């Protein structure tokens, strides 16, 4: 099948190119226009299939009668130091009011199903500011010293009678070892308190309706909170002596940052293609130097073949992604790894095919230069030249076709096994990879063979024009040793030994060094030690999943997660 497809592609290069390009564009356009789904929600990507907590959470929101809310969490802290002082509490009010003063807050909260103490629809708020009914003026009137603040925060109930959950409000707090007695005027009796002595955080949680309107509101509110966070960070020691900081988080904010990470990574794909394009162009240009020299001294360049090889991989990506879009496989930022994988796998197949082809070509030219060949390339018939190219392609595929087929099969099979993962994100990326790698293999033996055929026809036409001016002379440097053992080639010498590729000289020296007994012993010792070290390191492997790793390094949400250790 490999030889058949390669033969057909070589005989009909224009039809092959047209068909592959049309299929690739059609799959990409149809996929984007129909079932393209981009998933940013980390719960959808990383939650294992049949996860009971995930299923229970969905049931609670879908059938439990609870409103699906988007909670905004604000944490006021000072890197773990005690913030039981008025300034930190005042800043907590400022942070909360920054959110509540955002345009659209009241209109959004009016759509909430939560009823406040006045029996009006409102956004629920859980905060230490609840001791003063979230009123900054009342706080400033009642609290004149840090001792007043500590006494009020140590109460077991908020001002509206709601029990205080200290862990949620203060984080990993500490109490005094002695009880504090005071007279409760509202209840008309003496009471005891476990006074707080240490509080690393003040936490504010605001429940917003999880609606499209809520998302628009959050985008504006997040910008205001970022400005407040920055202003606190820029304050000097006189203005902010205890170094109070603000961190904030919402699920929607995380999704926005996750999306930003996805967008930031997008330029890496064309950049990688550009770098690999330059690399392949240089490589194929050098291969052109080994494929023959015309009488006028100009050496044929296969620079354009480097461009076409990269184009082949680009078309396979279009087809693979388009096919996955068509069947509705979600696209995540994990799928952005695929182009880097395909570039490596695809170019590897490309170099194997072209390497075998150019070796075949060099062998034929070496025989011709010795007068041993059949002289097919001197035939003026274009049909005979095209047939000769197709014959070479068939011989090349007989030599390397099975090799690239097996490597493609093993790579595809490895990704297919990944499709059995219980984590949806891994399933999806493995589906993308297995489909794209398989398509790339098909394109390598079809459209790239067509490109190679057309490039070889161009080279032959160029040589034919050059022969009209003088006798064509070819000396294949990479097969000098082969020619020296052929009848009639014993006395052939390389015109310029310096024309040998540096990599050839380097690899020959490297191979000679490997054959030295002392180097063999050294390698056995080194790699045995490396094997033992790697085996030991596997016993210390730790599995870690940190959601902060999936947002940009400069994301404000990344700074939120370390503060949670104080809660």
Question: Can you tell me the distance from the alpha carbon of 355 to that of 349, in angstroms, rounded to the nearest whole number?
Answer: 10
Check whether 297 has a pLDDT greater than 50.
no
Can you give the pLDDT at residue 384? Answer: 74
Does pLDDT of 247 surpass 80? yes
pTM score, whole prediction = 0.72
The structure tokens listed for 171 are 């984080």
Give residue-wise pLDDT tens across range 61-90. Answer: 677 666 677 889 999 999 989 999 999 999
Q: Which residue has the higher pLDDT, 295 or 449?
A: 449
Look at residue 317 and tell me whether its pLDDT is greater than 90: yes
pLDDT value at position 524? 93
Q: Is the pLDDT of residue 166 over 90?
A: no
| Residue 183: pLDDT band with limits 50, 70, 90 | low
Using the predicted structure, report yes or no on whether residue 324 has a pLDDT greater than 90: yes
* Residue 267, both tokens: 């330029």
The mean pLDDT value for 448-465 works out to 83
pLDDT surpassing 50 at residue 546: yes
The Cα–Cα gap between 76 and 169 comes to 11
HEC states along 105-123?
A: HHHHHCCCCCECCCCCECC
Q: Which structure tokens are listed for 170?
A: 């203060």
Structure-block tokens of residue 132: 């003063």
pLDDT at 24 over 90: yes
pLDDT at 66 (0 to 100): 66
Give residue-wise pLDDT tens across range 410-447: 999 999 998 888 888 889 999 999 999 999 999 999 99
Average pLDDT score over residue span 300-304: 76
pLDDT for 375 equals 46
The closest alpha carbon to 152, from 193, 191, 188, belongs to 193
> Cα dist. 238→76, 92, 242, 243 in Å?
19, 19, 9, 10
Q: How far, in Å, CA of 440 to CA of 191, rounded?
A: 77
pLDDT for 469: 59
63-67, 90-94, 350-354, 553-557: least confident range: 63-67
Average pLDDT over the chain, rounded to whole?
Answer: 82
In 3D space, the residue among 132, 103, 125 whose CA is nearest the CA of residue 208 turns out to be 125
What pLDDT shows up at residue 367?
62
What pLDDT is stored for residue 379 in this prediction? 46
Could you give the percent of the chain with pLDDT greater than 70?
83
Output the pLDDT for position 283.
79
Burial of 238 (0-12, 13-18, 19+ CB in 10 A): exposed
Average pLDDT, integer, range 269-297: 70
pLDDT at 77: 93
Residue 210: per-residue pLDDT: 86
- Say if residue 28's pLDDT is above 50: yes
Q: Does residue 401 contact residue 3 with C-beta atoms inside 8 Å?
A: yes
Q: Cα 342 from chain centroid? A: 14
Q: Report the pLDDT value the prediction gives residue 182, as an integer from 0 to 100.
A: 59
Give me the CATH topology for the region 2-43+276-486. Multidrug efflux transporter AcrB transmembrane fold (1.20.1640)
* In the predicted structure, residue 43 carries a pLDDT above the cut 50: yes
Give mean pLDDT, residues 315-333: 91
**Cβ partners under 8 Å of residue 498, min gap 6:** none
pLDDT for the residue numbered 382: 55
Residue 468 confidence class, pLDDT cut points 50, 70, 90: low
| pLDDT, tens digit (0-9, with 9 covering 90-100), for 358-392 | 888 777 766 665 555 554 444 445 557 788 888 88
pLDDT at 466 over 70: no
Q: What is the pLDDT of residue 260?
A: 84
Q: What is the 3-state secondary structure (H, E, C) of 451-469?
A: HHHHHHHHHHHHHHHHHCC
Q: Pick the residue with more confidence: 323 or 465?
A: 323
Count of all residues that appear for the chain in the document: 567
Q: Decide if 483 contacts 492 (C-beta within 8 A).
A: yes
Q: What was the pLDDT predicted at 356?
A: 86
Asked if the model's pLDDT at residue 196 lies above 90, the reply is: no
Q: If pLDDT is split at 50, 70 and 90, which confidence band does 265 have?
A: confident
Is the confidence at residue 280, as pLDDT, over 90? no
Instruction: In whole angstroms, give the CA distance from residue 46 to residue 40.
Output: 11
Question: 248: which strand partners?
Answer: 74
291 with 302: CB under 8 angstroms?
Answer: yes
Q: Is the pLDDT of residue 285 over 90?
A: no
Per-residue model confidence (pLDDT) at position 509: 86
Contact predicate 447/308, CB 8 Å: no
Phi/psi at 156 (nearest 5 deg)? Answer: -90, -10
What does the domain layout of the chain look like in residue ranges? 2-43+276-486, 69-258, 497-530
pLDDT score of 164: 87
The pLDDT of residue 267 is 84
Confidence of residue 525 (pLDDT cuts 50, 70, 90): very high
The rounded distance, in Å, linking the Cα atoms of 51 and 545 is 16
Arithmetic mean of pLDDT, 141-169: 86
User: What's the gap between Cα 2 and its chain centre?
Assistant: 33
Q: How many CB atoms lie within 10 A of CB 446?
A: 22
| Of the listed ranges 211-215, 236-240, 258-262, the one predicted with least confidence | 258-262
* Cβ neighbours, 10 Å, residue 96: 22
Collapsing DSSP states into helix, strand and coil, what is residue 73? strand
């Amino acid at each position: 099948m490999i030889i058949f497809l390669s033969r057909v592609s070589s005989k009909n290069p224009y039809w092959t190119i047209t068909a592959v390009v049309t299929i690739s564009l059609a799959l990409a356009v149809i996929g984007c226009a129909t079932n393209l789904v981009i998933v940013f929600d980390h719960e959808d990507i990383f939650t294992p299939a049949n996860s009971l907590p995930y299923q229970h959470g969905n049931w609670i929101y879908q059938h439990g009668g609870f409103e699906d809310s988007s909670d905004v969490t604000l944490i006021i802290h000072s890197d773990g130091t005690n913030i039981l002082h008025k300034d930190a509490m005042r800043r907590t009010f400022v942070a909360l009011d920054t959110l509540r003063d955002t345009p659209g807050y009241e209109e959004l909260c009016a759509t909430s199903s939560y009823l406040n103490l006045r029996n009006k629809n409102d956004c629920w708020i859980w905060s230490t500011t609840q001791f003063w009914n979230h009123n900054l003026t009342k706080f400033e009137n009642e609290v004149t010293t840090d001792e007043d603040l500590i006494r009020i925060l140590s109460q077991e109930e908020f001002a509206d009678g709601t029990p205080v959950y200290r862990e949620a409000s203060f984080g990993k707090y500490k109490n005094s070892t002695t009880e504090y007695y005071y007279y409760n005027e509202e209840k008309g009796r003496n009471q005891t308190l476990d006074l707080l002595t240490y509080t690393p955080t003040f936490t504010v949680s605001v429940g917003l309706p999880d609606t499209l309107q809520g998302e628009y509101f959050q985008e504006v509110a997040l910008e205001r909170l970022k400005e407040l966070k920055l202003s606190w960070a820029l304050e000097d020691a006189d203005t902010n002596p205890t170094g109070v900081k603000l961190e904030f988080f919402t699920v929607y904010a995380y999704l926005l940052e996750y999306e930003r990470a996805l967008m930031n990574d997008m330029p890496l794909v064309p950049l990688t293609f550009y770098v690999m394009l330059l690399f392949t162009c240089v490589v194929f240009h050098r291969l052109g130097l080994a494929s023959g020299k015309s009488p006028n001294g100009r050496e044929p360049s296969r620079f354009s073949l480097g461009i076409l090889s990269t184009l082949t991989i680009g078309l396979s990506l279009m087809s693979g992604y388009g096919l996955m879009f068509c069947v509705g496989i979600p696209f995540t930022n994990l799928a952005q790894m695929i182009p880097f994988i395909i570039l490596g796998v695809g170019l590897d197949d490309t170099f194997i095919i072209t390497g075998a082809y150019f070796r075949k070509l060099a062998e034929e030219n070496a025989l011709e230069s010795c007068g041993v060949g059949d002289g097919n390339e001197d035939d003026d018939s274009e049909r005979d030249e095209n047939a000769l190219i197709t014959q070479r392609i068939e011989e090349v595929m007989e030599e390397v076709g099975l090799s690239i087929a097996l490597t493609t099969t093993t790579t595809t099979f490895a990704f297919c096994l990944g499709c059995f993962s219980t984590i949806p994100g891994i399933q999806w990326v493995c589906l993308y990879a297995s489909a794209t790698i398989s398509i790339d293999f098909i394109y390598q033996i079809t459209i790239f063979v067509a490109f190679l055929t057309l490039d070889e026809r161009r080279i032959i036409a160029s040589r034919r024009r050059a022969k009209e001016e003088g006798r064509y002379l070819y000396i294949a440097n990479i097969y000098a040793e082969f020619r020296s053992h052929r009848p009639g080639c014993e006395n052939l010498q390389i015109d310029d030994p310096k024309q040998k590729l540096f990599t050839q000289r380097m690899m020959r020296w490297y191979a000679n060094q490997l054959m030295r007994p002392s180097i063999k012993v050294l390698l056995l010792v080194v790699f045995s030690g490396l094997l033992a070290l790697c085996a030991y390191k596997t016993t210390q492997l730790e599995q870690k999943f940190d959601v902060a790793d999936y947002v940009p390094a400069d994301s404000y949400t990344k700074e939120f997660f370390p503060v949670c250790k104080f809660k």
